[in-house]
Amino acid sequence: MAADTQFPWTEPHQKNLESERRISKNLIKNYFYSMSKLASKIHVDLKAIFINGDLTAFGHDHELSTFRELLQIPKSWTQVHLGLGNHDYANNVDDCFENQCSTRMVKYMMEQKALYSNMDVEVTHFPPANEEDWYTVVYRGSLAYSLDIGGIHIVQLHNYPTYANQWNSTNYLEDILEVFQINDSLEWLKRDLDDASNKNRSIIICMHDPILPRRFQNLIIKYKISAIFVGHYHSNIGLYDRNTESDDIVPVFGSGSAIYGTYLLVKFENQNRMQISAWNAKNGDVQKIALQNLEEDFQLG
């Protein structure tokens, strides 16, 4: 479990943009190289990497292009499943020319739809009624998706479960008006959890920002979610302090960030138990992080 590659973000920020890009690119490279080394070091078949949001800093073309390039490192040896965060399609709405930044990142996520037949999105085309009208394409949904790895059902909700937004973007090259309606994922999530529960799957939820509204808490308690993995807070790695009713039942884990070189290894020894350890990718190497709150197995729901 990983998060916040967020190219070209650095902490602290660099005064020189080229320096920031170079440093960020090296951090992300080391992040991915470390995961590969870890798999070899402990002799495990790493089934997948999940990146829980903020793939880029703002969704600019050069940012996504560099992220695509860097993503080829882990994709050469395992599956990679992506989530969007606030930096990808929230912060930049109405703050980028023709909303191209948020549009770019949503379309990039929709490229993954071939991998996830249940992705929550529908596309509707409206031909112009007359010569003065634009050809209009409406994209509607939360972009949430899920997949099974063995007997584990893993759900990706992107930013947070109730995130909703709307914007327009004009595609001048093709004379198309594109309308984006991002809906909350709760109705889709309930249907997905119903299906997974009927199949007796253990369920894990991934998202970016650990915002847990009451309606979402009710669902994760009802369906006995095993764990939630989040990003957003770059320095947070491991189990969050439990301070809500749902936390007492469903543990929430910070997935770390490329900026701090931290990530989690999640191992399923069987259908009942989950082991989690924290790792540091400093200089592309593999260093275990000693966290007291991870020195136990976690019960799967």
Domain of residue 268, CATH code: 3.60.21
Q: What is the pTM of this model?
A: 0.95
Whether 187 shows a pLDDT value over 90: the answer reads: yes
Please tell me the total count of domains within the chain.
1
Q: Give the confidence band of 107 by pLDDT, cuts at 50, 70, 90.
A: very high
3-state secondary structure of 207: coil
Residue with tokens 């701090």: 260
What's the pLDDT score for residue 295? 65
Please check whether residue 62 lies inside any domain of the structure: yes
The single-letter DSSP state of residue 43 is T
Please check whether residue 178 lies inside any domain of the structure: yes
Please check whether residue 187 lies inside any domain of the structure: yes
The single-letter DSSP state of residue 164 is -
Please check whether residue 11 lies inside any domain of the structure: no
Structure tokens at 254: 């910070």
Query: What is the spatial distance between Cα 3 and Cα 133, in angstroms, rounded to a whole number?
Result: 42
Report the half-sphere exposure of 77 (CA within 13 A, side-chain side): 14
What's the pLDDT score for residue 247? 55
Whether 271 shows a pLDDT value over 90: the answer reads: no
What's the pLDDT score for residue 245? 56
Question: For residue range 204-237, what is the model confidence (pLDDT) as tens digits?
Answer: 999 999 999 999 999 999 999 999 999 999 999 9
Q: Give the confidence band of 2 by pLDDT, cuts at 50, 70, 90.
A: very high
The residue among 294 and 19 whose pLDDT is bigger is 19
- Domain carrying residue 228: 17-299
Q: Give the confidence band of 246 by pLDDT, cuts at 50, 70, 90.
A: low
Q: Give the confidence band of 12 by pLDDT, cuts at 50, 70, 90.
A: confident
Read out DSSP for 264-290?
A: EEEEESSSSEEEEEEEE-GGG--EEE-
Please check whether residue 283 lies inside any domain of the structure: yes
Please check whether residue 226 lies inside any domain of the structure: yes
Please check whether residue 274 lies inside any domain of the structure: yes
Whether 248 shows a pLDDT value over 70: the answer reads: no
The single-letter DSSP state of residue 251 is -
Read out DSSP for 68-118?
A: HHHHHHHHTTSEEEEE--HHHHTTTTTSSGGGHHHHHHHHHHHHGGGG-TT
Query: What is the spatial distance between Cα 148 and Cα 49, in angstroms, rounded to a whole number?
Result: 13
Question: For residue range 118-161, what is the model confidence (pLDDT) as tens digits?
Answer: 999 999 999 998 888 899 999 999 999 999 998 999 999 999 99
Please check whether residue 4 lies inside any domain of the structure: no
